[in-house]
Amino acid sequence: MLPVWYAVFLLSVTCHEAAHALAALRGGDRTAYLGGQVSLNPVPHVLREPIGTIVVPLLTFLQMGWMMGWASAPYDPLWEARHPRRAAFMAASGPLANLLLAGIAFAALKAGLGYGAFTIPADGISLDRLVSPSSGSPALLEGVGRMLSVLLVLNLVLLVFNLFPLPPMDGASVVAGLVRPLRGVYESLRGSAMGSLAGLLAAYWLFQAAFPPIRDWVLLSLYS
């Protein structure tokens, strides 16, 4: 399952960062474009963040059986200061890319269940096996089902985690760009290593409470 998880992880973070970079380019900041990040080719994203795209994903998979990590797209802070609303759209574009990928996976799984190609696994579902091939379906559908399962779950995780309005998550940049009184507070926290660490820890704690009901609602919608 490692190849499936890693392929889906690379696709997900590449689309996330490429969306950031494209939104910045459309908004007038060419920094990420000049760095090669306006691309669905994962190579420039991996070269920019090898720890977050290679080391951490592999370690989390080996330790916990699922994969997490990060990538990043550069931007011009002066451009962000001059155009806070454009910067907010840039920040929101990454989670929106994850929402799109999760939606595609959900639709494909729902269609497979509806047409009888997939069924609910009799031995129980897991993060990377939300469906199994129906009796008489091609064996290839086992791999397809697992890939779509990981695509749905992983992008749902990235979407929810990044939307928390805590630095350094994307949600904080969205709020900072749209709510002027909070802009200075967020900028000071984001510029502090301790502030960013505190934000990450708080987001992780909130995620543990917020994600299970969202996941269960998605799965209920999938199987209903």
**Tens digits of residue pLDDT in 94-133:** 999 999 999 999 999 999 999 999 999 988 999 899 999 9
* Full residue range of the structural domain in which residue 22 is found: 1-73
Per the CB < 8 A criterion, the answer to whether 118 and 111 are in contact is no
Q: Does the residue 78 lie in any domain?
A: no
pLDDT of res. 9: 97
Whole-model pTM: value is 0.92
**CB neighbours (10 Å) of residue 54?**
14
- Residues 168 and 153: their CA atoms lie apart, in Å, by 22
pLDDT of res. 183: 73
Q: Does the residue 159 lie in any domain?
A: no
pLDDT of res. 191: 65
Q: Does the residue 11 lie in any domain?
A: yes
Residues (pLDDT < 70) of the chain are 189-193, 195
Q: Does the residue 113 lie in any domain?
A: no
Q: Does the residue 205 lie in any domain?
A: no
Look at the chain and report how many structural domains it folds into: 1
pLDDT of res. 204: 87
